[in-house]
Amino acid sequence: MLFRALAVLAVTTAAAAAHGHDSHAHEQSILANDEITVNLDVREHWMRVAIQALYDLVSPCPFSAFGTAVVNHTSSTGPGELICIAANTIADDGNPTLHGEIAAINNCTTVLRDSDGPFKLSPEETSQAWKHLSLYTTAEACPMCATAIRWAGFKEYVYATSSETLMESGWPQMSINSREVFRRSGMVEPSTAILTDVLYGETDPLFSWQFDSRAPCPAGCSRRVQGEACSPL
Ligand SMILES: *[C@@H]1O[C@H](CO)[C@@H](O)[C@H](O)[C@H]1NC(C)=O
Ligand SMILES: *[C@@H]1O[C@H](CO)[C@@H](O)[C@H](O)[C@H]1NC(C)=O
């Protein structure tokens, strides 16, 4: 299991290097470490739910456009079941750990534990639940979030915009990306499969305007004054 997941990781990073990251030419529909294979259109559906989480929880053009959806891919044919959504809410909360992925782990814990909700899990059952779940995030996880994803033991981690693209767009990043964190996490069981670059064409524009005053705003937003930050229409 572990070695197969690492093999997938090695393949994705080798493909990224071979194509050059700008081309993003290596979209993959299937992860090898599971008997369930999920079609790319289902992957894209859930990534759009992660994008929609920004609109639903923050705004059409939040500065930190990091949205997340956590999904149970219960079978290879159906779309699967949404467990929770979340978004980066540092600006609203002041808590610096509330990146989209950490916010999702927090919110899903609340949803899974909720005695009035659909799951009603105990703490022990909640701890065991993550290994069935897939986390979709609009951008590649930072080392804090990548580590949290690995400690949770998610089945899969799926991202859209890469950390290279974030850096090219001016986003400050730790100089260790999530693929490196995953590569170094082999002692932590269960392993988490990784799927890169899903729907980056729709997410890259969410991150391209914050540090470039000439870049167009995401749909539903505009710069009221030239050079000003994008805000909802
Ligand atoms: C996820 O789906 C699997 C397979 O159907 C099921 O056993 C598991 O209980 C589900 N997890 C949650 C949290 O609903
Ligand atoms: C938590 O997830 C639920 C289910 O998707 C959603 O309705 C709710 O708005 C989310 N709450 C937060 C704080 O993100």
Helices then strands, counting H and E runs in the chain, come out as 9, 7
| 129 Cβ below 6 A of ligand 1 | yes
Specify the DSSP class assigned to residue 130. Answer: G
Cα of 72 vs centre of ligand 1, distance in Å, is 6
Protein residue with least CA distance to atom 5, ligand 2: 84
Taking a C-beta distance cutoff of 8 angstroms, is the pair 100, 137 a contact? Answer: yes
Question: Looking at residue 77, what is its pLDDT?
Answer: 74
Specify the DSSP class assigned to residue 191. Answer: P
Atom of ligand 1 nearest to the CA of 132: 1
CA 143 to chain centre: 13
pLDDT in tens, the chain (233 residues): 333 333 344 334 333 333 334 333 333 333 444 555 788 999 999 999 999 999 999 999 999 999 999 999 987 678 999 999 999 999 999 999 999 999 999 999 999 999 999 999 999 999 999 999 999 999 999 999 999 999 999 999 999 999 999 999 999 999 999 999 999 999 999 999 999 999 999 999 999 999 999 999 999 999 999 889 999 99
| 132 Cβ below 6 A of ligand 1 | yes
Atom of ligand 2 nearest to the CA of 56: 9
From the CA of 103, the nearest ligand is: 2
| 213 Cβ below 6 A of ligand 1 | no
Protein residue with least CA distance to atom 4, ligand 1: 74
Question: Looking at residue 72, what is its pLDDT?
Answer: 96
Pocket test for ligand 2, best of 98, 107, 112 (most atoms within 8 A of CB): 107
Q: Pocket around ligand 2: residues whose beta carbon is below 6 Å from it?
A: 57, 82, 84-86, 107, 111
Q: What is the dihedral of CA 115, 79, 161, 205, to 10 degrees?
A: -100
Burial label for 107, CB within 10 Å (0-12, 13-18, 19+), is: buried
Protein residue with least CA distance to atom 4, ligand 2: 84
Q: Edge-to-edge, what's the strand order for the sheet holding 81-87? A: 81-87, 67-72, 133-139, 156-161, 193-195
Pocket test for ligand 1, best of 74, 82, 111 (most atoms within 8 A of CB): 74
HSE-up (13 A, CA, CB side) for residue 218: 22
Question: Looking at residue 36, what is its pLDDT?
Answer: 57
Cα of 57 vs centre of ligand 2, distance in Å, is 8
User: What's the predicted TM-score (pTM) here?
Assistant: 0.88
Question: Looking at residue 104, what is its pLDDT?
Answer: 98
Atom of ligand 1 nearest to the CA of 133: 1
